[in-house]
Chains A and B, each alone.
Chain A
């Protein structure tokens, strides 16, 4: 993969990198992919892939991954600087965040050298998208009840079972699949992780329509799926233990741009109101002014949590269960924003401005989608349990 010669040197520092990212992103994002533009249309999968691949070539992905595997070998500080600019522009969400933020780090931790060389550069170059096969109908937050079996057969594994709530399954090339080698009675013991090609015979994807009208997740059935031993990520328990560690960090660092994107959405909402005379009157209303200020305070606090996490990780400190604080806060912060946005765009009429119409479409969908945000990546109740147990260390008896 040829990288742009304009990528700043690491020694230039995060400020230079942020300015570079800002300039590049604004110059290169196709106008129809800007969600705050009246010319927006939903980008195709190929357009999203091309955009993310271009970002990678420009040095705006794989910031912290080792150079040997296609990364830039930089620090979380540069990663954060770039993410602030990714958030500052209303661009599409990544179609391969599972690959970049979950599968990639796990492979870096437990993968063989051959697996690292094969998978990691392709994830960054957007040749492979990944989905996450953890949840099952009977094992949502409680993965000890996982039933999908992996049975050794010669130098292969046979996989049987069912996954659910698998985002992006229909488009993914690989599934980061969690299975068990023993029985349900083994609970958390004997869990084994695989990188399973989604075109393997025996895999069936059944899309699920969600409340936002999309089919962004699915049920995935594994019926006598045969994979080679080379698809295994680590020994039994090893891959899962690595996943637990990665998930802990991931809760605090994934989609690090969120707070800055929420800020951008809040600006889009104001801009839409200003473009329309009746809506602009809302901005003079003390009630709405206060609500904007309160949401802004929540967003600023989220920025503070993220920046603090980066400082701690950069200093070599463990963040422990603190990722649960970030996950809990961002999900509820965005729901608070979405509630405000819905209240505002409810005033949009057929005679409203084009920007206002665009905002109504975008934020009505955002409001509905935000219902999922307190569910995925660990529900609110699970995060509250983790905080009570591991941060406050409250006794149960």
Chain B
């Protein structure tokens, strides 16, 4: 594989955001396999994977701007899940296949082998492999063809979540409990970035529209109610982004920060921004043609996958337990 667009690794993570813009734009609208090839050629699929597996061997800080850009452009591919699975399977043929884009992987965000059913796997029908919790703290990479996939089209008929029946699952690789725990943390960081990116894309689109849509002889952005709503959307985007980036750093005493409250915050703020973006677009916002609804569906799917408010409740439980 030849990495063609990513900058040298001595550059900063934020510079990866710029490098990710063009390949993600190129991938949007292509069939999943082609899109994966485009992203692989740009080095995005293996950004956190071992260099021996064809990856770049970089930390999660370098994947975050890529996740944000994927959200901003509403990339219909499980990029976040894929690049994390490639990282976790280091030293395996599967990791090599994932970095090169020859294979596509997703992740069932709910359920495990103990219950026999898993769910909330994005784009599973387009993927070769699905990562499923094994019910004992670790996870197993399963051959998608060995599972019974059932689309859940209620929230998103175009890009449904998938439920998976696990009887007869063919397991290709296993991830131990410590690795899976760390991987889940990485997932929450990147998903918070992804939904924050969706909000950013919606805000930029809406601000541009409000600045150019003329009614009563002036742009809609001249109206205070509109200006203040856009400012609130801006604040929501900024607080979400600030709390997500905070997760990348340990505190002064070396303690790692809990991700649950930040992801809950990011989901809530992004949903707010997307809902208001649709509203401010008026009738056009309610049409299928305008892609804002895709972003909202994606954010709501993640909310559902994490228990629709359960993240905030769990963060509250953890905080309460931490007080002596």
Contact = CB atoms under 8 A, between A and B. Distances in A.
A300 interface: yes
A300 B316 contact: no
A304 B230 contact: no
A162 to B, nearest CB: 30
Contacts of B243: 297, 300-301, 303-304
A305 B257 CA distance: 16
A384 B229 CA distance: 8
Interface string B285-324: 0000000000000000000000001011111110110011
B262 A308 contact: no
Interface residues of A, number: 47
A394 B210 contact: yes
For A301, A302, A322, which residue has the most chain B Cβ atoms within 10 angstroms? A301
B173 interface: no
A90 B244 CA distance: 27
B153 to A, nearest CB: 28
Interface stretch (A109-117, A140-148, A181-189, A282-290): A282-290
A397 B232 CA distance: 21
Nearest to A80: B252
Interface in A320-342: 322, 325, 328-329
Contacts of B265: 294, 297-298, 300-301
Contacts of A307: 242, 246
B239 A388 contact: no
B64 to A, nearest CB: 13
A271 interface: yes
A158 to B, nearest CB: 40
A81 B252 contact: yes
B251 to A, nearest CB: 9
A14 interface: yes
Interface residues of B, number: 45
B314 to A, nearest CB: 7
Contacts, number: 144
Interface stretch (B96-104, B177-185, B219-227): B219-227
Contacts of B230: 388, 392, 394
Contacts of A15: 252-253
Nearest to A289: B316
Given A301-B240, A304-B243, A384-B228, A294 B234 contact: no
Contacts of B252: 14-15, 18, 81, 84
A297 B210 CA distance: 30
B218 interface: yes
Contact of B235 (A286, A296, A387): A387
B238 interface: yes
B17 to A, nearest CB: 16
Interface string A368-397: 000000000000010111011001101111
A3 interface: no
A291 interface: yes
A296 B316 CA distance: 7
A263 to B, nearest CB: 9
A339 to B, nearest CB: 15
B23 interface: no
B25 to A, nearest CB: 23
A198 to B, nearest CB: 37
Contact of A303 (B246, B316, B319, B323): B246
B74 interface: no
B239 A394 contact: no
Contacts of B262: 297, 300-301
Contacts of B242: 301, 304-305, 307-308
A384 B232 contact: yes
A304 B245 contact: yes
B320 A304 contact: no
Interface of B, secondary structure class, is helix
A197 B314 CA distance: 54
B268 interface: yes
B260 interface: yes
Given A296-B315, A298-B265, A391 B234 contact: yes
A297 B222 contact: no
A18 B312 CA distance: 29
Given A294-B264, A395-B221, A329 B239 contact: yes
Nearest to B240: A301
A218 interface: no
B150 interface: no
Nearest to B218: A397
A133 to B, nearest CB: 29
Contacts of A392: 207, 227, 230-231, 234
Given A308-B245, A387-B231, A388-B231, A394 B324 contact: no
A395 B208 CA distance: 10
A325 B234 contact: yes
Interface in B236-287: 238-246, 252-253, 257, 260-262, 264-265, 268
Contacts of A267: 323
Nearest to A380: B228
A325 B238 contact: yes
A232 B185 CA distance: 56
Contacts of A308: 242, 245
Nearest to B217: A397
A387 B222 CA distance: 14
16 contacts: A84-B252, A274-B323, A290-B309, A297-B264, A300-B262, A301-B240, A303-B243, A304-B245, A304-B246, A329-B239, A385-B227, A387-B235, A388-B221, A388-B227, A395-B211, A395-B221
Interface of B: 207, 210-211, 218-219, 221-222, 224, 227-228, 230-232, 234-235, 238-246, 252-253, 257, 260-262, 264-265, 268, 309, 311-317, 319-320, 323-324
Across the A-B interface, the 5 shortest Cβ-Cβ residue pairs: A304-B242, A293-B316, A297-B265, A292-B316, A293-B312
Given A283-B320, A294-B268, A397-B222, 8 more contacts: A15-B252, A18-B252, A292-B320, A294-B316, A297-B268, A304-B239, A392-B230, A392-B231
